[in-house]
Chain A
Amino acid sequence: MKHMTRKATRHVSQNEGLIFEKSSPGKAAWKLPPLDVPEIDASKLLGSAERKDLGNMPEVSEIEIIRHFTRLSTWNYAIDLGMYPLGSCTMKYNPRVNEVVARLEGLANGHPYQPERASQGALRILKTLSECLLEITGMDAITLQPAAGAHGELTGLLMVRAYQESKGTPRKKILIPDSAHGTNPATAAMVGYAVENLKSNSQGMVDIAALSGQMNQDVAALMLTNPNTLGIFEQEIEQIAAILHAKGGLLYMDGANMNALVGKVRPGDFGVDLMHLNLHKTFSTPHGGGGPGSGPVAVKNILGPFLPKPVLITKPDGTLGFEYDRPQSVGRVRAFYGNFGMFVRALAYILANGPDGLRQTTEDAVLNANYIRKGLEGAYDLPYSTPTMHEVVFSDRRQAKKRVKTMDIAKRLIDYGFHPYTTAFPLIVPGALMIEATESESKEELDLFIESMRSIAEEVEEDPQTVLTAPHSTRISRLDETTAARKPVLRWKPAAE
């Protein structure tokens, strides 16, 4: 076989049913200690509110649970297995010391309402992380409360709105480039703003003339991802900020791609008024199959009064505490203080790196993206030749002539031992192949990736059917998503008796 994959081989994949299919009465994986207080009569205490039966909840033993989830786990791809070239997702190594420190007793078992004087450790972590993130972003004030990137966007736009209201009117619109993530327009709608699309120019950057034309007193802010989703740094950022600011608009930066900038340039220095960070992207907290994330929002001083409450403060006696009396605050966006466990991990990552490590990280991420770009140029169409930062976007234009689409190539990549790249995004590139290696990939892994992608490009020419029907090496082949959506089966039910 010509197109042999060097990275992957088949391994035993064990079958495993649903946990409910293993259940039978009398099996148990739990044991409670003896009760040290008198037994109670539940029906007397609860009356008609008492629940007698827990329906189809499973009854299984501990070894079955261990095997069940271990077997399921082997059906997943993961960073620990190899490169995860998802563009805009920044799938980097998740350091294990992060997991250890997040589980230290006093941090893992700290109650959010325990007295401040018994919470100085947790508050010191909030404080230290906040200071690091402010230095990294070049901003003045920060909230760690938002639970994910989209939640950070929501928080940011609530602050934009509050700020604009304080100047007289909330204004009506948010400008969003056509290359933006879907969360941007969805967030604007949640905050009661109309979304106005901003076209990109032929280089894949904000069209300055279009921006000037569209910017007026109705625009509250521009939501800009920088570098944008094409992996391109907005070179005219100074002008972009000036155009917005001249007419009272704010520059919001979606920090999804901050991995391209840390230690090399600070958004606060190039005119950004507020931005969110994704700790689960740039700062190495694990994706965990879709979360938890954490989406701190950093702002310039003009927006400080509007931060969600409570705000962390240093008290006159030098101890740390929360301030709740914030009359101009947008309010709370989440109960308690945010995804604290992610703050611990992100800070552990920053401490492990220091200034030199963070700079080297950014440089390696950008080096890797450019290395992939060079390696795949010629095999895939590159719609924008503007210099690449941390990710590169190709299109399936060439392969589409053989009726092979980006998703097919992505699925074939699975057979070569990689997770697919991001498909069909950004929207301005039809049939996009969006690739971000992050700094976590060695030259060897990148060479394997490039070799695999080039091999698939050849397969498309010689044997497109193999690519169209991929993957061939997985437990299951492509799934019937249409039926899944038309006749949703969203839970297990026992077979009818």
Chain B
Amino acid sequence: MRYLPKSPADREAMLKALGKRSISEFFTPIPAKYRLERDLKIPRQMAESEIVDWFRERSRENGDGYAIFLGAGAYYHYRPVIIDSLILRGEFLTAYTPYQAEVSQGTLQSIFEFQTMICELTGMEVANASMYDGSTATAEAVMMAVRLTGRPSVLVARNVHPEYQEVLSTYAHHQGLPISTLSFTEAGRLDPEDLERSITGETACVLIQSPNFFGTIEDVAAIAEIAHKHGALLVVAIAEAISLGMVKPPQQADIIALEAQSFGVPLGFGGPYCGVIATREQFVRQMPGRLVGQTTDRNGKRGFVLTLATREQHIRREKATSNICTNQALIALMANIFMTVYGKVGLRDLAKQNLAKTAYAMDQFGKHAGLLFTGAPRFNEFVVKTSEDPGAINSRILGHKIVGGLPLKKFYPELGNASLWCCTEMTTRTAIDTAAAMVAESEGSSGARDVDVEELTR
């Protein structure tokens, strides 16, 4: 086996040194009746070239080369090539968690820079080294708010990513934490009146997303005011990190749960992504996940260490703030490099292109179909309402190697034939025009046609 660095003679010599005749002598602690005396029934050993071929085939079966109008928590942005040049360096790729600071300064300093840039972009005072993804960061941020306030219930806006809501309800279920949802307005924003009606002295936090699942930017200041008036915290989830280049950060929030996938992380069929929690300094001791801090060595030289570990499971066991151990360090490094490449000016220009493409697409789609939630500003997603089932329209568009927007019926039945479309800097005018023409064609014809409709909603 080509990954194993021993010759038969090496193995012989080692066994001899150990006074054993055969390797099987080391497996005698396993009761004989359980020992596997046959080959595993898995594919035979393959050559490297066969492995590449096998996966190439899978890649071809997976929509290779399609233009996509899907966003909804996973965004297709350009990835500068130096991201992979750098993260493929073995010293980053094959290093362990930086517990041993003296031989891990590269990872530690880069995380410190990551934490700094996340603070700059979110307007928060501290950020952790990463969480699994936006959905789990959101669930953990809510748990954190519950610990901070000692209050037992949570209010969640219905326009938070539905899968984030599902993850939160899984996490909260066994904490005896009642979750109530808040409705949205005609503008697609959280309904402040519903918030006023629902919030009580028992509410630990209000969870919103901005830009929300429909792409609409929330009035964070107004929501924060209501939450804070009742002694509740405001948790804001951000799924599209590029929005931070152009949209004011939710500085009035107490905790931000960010999905940093848009910062140079491939779509990768849903993962690995990069969650982050950012918050105010006063809340840091209830924050889950690893943190890197600056300190000095014995000679007064600047260095970095993992710190405030007394929050974590390897020290506190069942009293820890979370059970999280392995996080998404290498993915955070991708995001770190991405943020460094675009920086102070580039992130804004990039965000502006996203906004421009989306504005153009909305104009084109709006000529032929209804647009929902137009009464508030939005970033790079918009909701289109058609007469025909969007699944049917998508099936036809797919024939042009274009993946259309996400039908919303499954998550929001009351929205009927609505679908969520996304444009990024990668979306071409040609693709927009083609998709808009297909939607126009559908709107122009009378009633739904007999096509093979695939349920696109997951």
Q: What does the 1/0 interface line of A189-227 toward B look like (CB < 8 Å)? A: 111100100000000000000000000000000000000
State whether the Cβ of A313 lies closer than 8 Å to any Cβ in chain B: no
A330–B169 Cα gap in the complex (Å)?
10
Asked if A54 and B121 sit within 8 Å, CB to CB, the answer is yes
Q: Which of the 9-residue segments A39-47, A243-251, A297-305, A394-402 touches chain B?
A: A39-47
Within 8 A of B (CB), among A51-106: 51, 54-60, 62, 65-66, 68-81, 84, 86, 89, 91, 93-95, 97, 99-106
What is the CA–CA distance of A95 and B51 in the complex, to the nearest angstrom?
12
Ranked 10 nearest A-B pairs via Cβ = A288-B330, A336-B270, A354-B45, A80-B90, A106-B64, A121-B62, A106-B59, A121-B61, A112-B270, A290-B329
| B370 is an interface residue with CB less than 8 A from chain A | no
Chain A residues, Cβ within 8 Å of B48:
97, 352
**In contact, B89 and A79 (Cβ under 8 angstroms):** no
A353 at the interface (CB under 8 A from B): yes
Once A and B bind, how many residue pairs between them come within 8 Å at the CB atom?
686
0 or 1 for each of A118-153: is its CB under 8 Å from B? (1 = yes): 111110110010011001100000000001111101
Chain B positions 121 through 134: 1 when the CB is less than 8 Å from some CB of chain A, otherwise 0: 10001110110111
Cβ of A130 to closest chain B Cβ, rounded Å: 12
Contact yes or no, B85 A366, CB < 8 A: no
Q: Mark B49-87, 1 if CB is under 8 A from A, else 0.
A: 011101111111111111010101110100010101111
Asked if B272 and A118 make an inter-chain contact with CB atoms under 8 angstroms apart, the answer reads no
Q: Which residues of A contact B329 (CB under 8 A)?
A: 287-292
Interface centre among B2, B80, B268, B330 (most CB of A within 10 A): B268
Nearest chain A CB to B293 CB, angstrom units: 4
Are B458 and A113 touching (Cβ within 8 A)? yes
B292 cross-chain contacts in A, Cβ below 8 A:
490
Chain A residues with Cβ under 8 A from B129's Cβ?
Answer: 290
B343, A334: Cβ atoms closer than 8 Å: no
B290 touches A290 (CB 8 A): yes
User: Is the CB–CB distance between B293 and A490 below 8 Å?
Assistant: yes
| A265-B35 CB under 8 A given contacts A69-B86, A114-B63, A340-B269 | yes
Alpha-carbon distance between A183 and B45 when the two chains are bound, in angstroms? 35
Q: Is B413 an interface residue (CB 8 A)?
A: no
Question: In the complex, A56→B94 CA distance in Å?
Answer: 31
**Pairwise interchain contact A51-B246, C-beta atoms closer than 8 A:** yes
Given A233-B29, A270-B31, also A54-B347 (CB < 8 A): yes
- Cβ–Cβ < 8 Å partners of B106 in chain A: 71-76
Can you report 9 residue pairs joining A to B where beta carbons are below 8 Å apart?
A65-B340, A74-B106, A107-B62, A118-B66, A122-B58, A290-B326, A291-B130, A352-B48, A489-B294
Binds A, one of B192-200, B225-233, B314-322, B438-446: B314-322
- Residue of chain A at shortest CB distance from B211: A49
Given the interface pairs A107-B55, A335-B135, the reply to whether A118 lies near B63 with Cβ below 8 Å is: yes
Q: Are A479 and B271 in contact (CB under 8 A)?
A: no
The answer on a CB contact under 8 Å between A189 and B318 is: yes
Contact B46 A351 (CB under 8 A): yes
Taking CB atoms, residues of chain B closer than 8 Å to A125 are 55, 58
* Cβ–Cβ < 8 Å partners of B17 in chain A: 371, 374
